[in-house]
Amino acid sequence: MFEWMAWTTPIAVFFICIVLMLIGLTIWEIKSPTIMRKGFLPIATTRGDRVFIGLLGAAYINLAFVGISEKLMGWLSLEQEPSVWFSFVLSMIFVAVVLRNG
C-alpha cells in the first residue's frame, strides 16, 4: 500500500509527531476550549489555526532543507549530505514557537 513512498526513519518520526500532536491537541481542546488570540502572527488565531500554520511552515522548512542539502555540502566542505534530522529539529522548534507565541 505504501510502496510508492520512500519511508525512512526521519519521515516516519515526522509523521508520528504530527499524529501525536493532533491527538494532544484534541485532548487539550476537550479539557480547555480555545479562544482567539493575537500573537506575532498578523491575525487572531485559535490553537488549531496555529497548528496548521506551524505544520505548513514545518513542511516548507523540510522541503527547503532537502533542496539545499547538496549545496550545503559544498558551502561547508562536508563529505556527505547533512542529516535530515537537522531540518526535523528546526521544523519542530518552529512549530513550538508558532504554537506558543503565534
pLDDT tens digits for range 59-96: 899 889 888 888 878 787 778 877 788 888 899 899 89
The predicted model gives 4-28 an average pLDDT of 82
Output the pTM of the full model. 0.73
Query: Is residue 97 predicted with pLDDT exceeding 90?
Result: yes
Per residue in 24-55, pLDDT tens? 989 988 998 888 888 888 888 988 888 889 98
Phi, psi of 42 (to 5 degrees): -75, 5
Give the confidence band of 1 by pLDDT, cuts at 50, 70, 90. Answer: low
Question: How many C-beta neighbours within 10 Å does residue 50 have?
Answer: 22
> What pLDDT does 2 receive?
61
**Which of 47, 45, 16, 15 is CA-nearest to residue 31?**
47
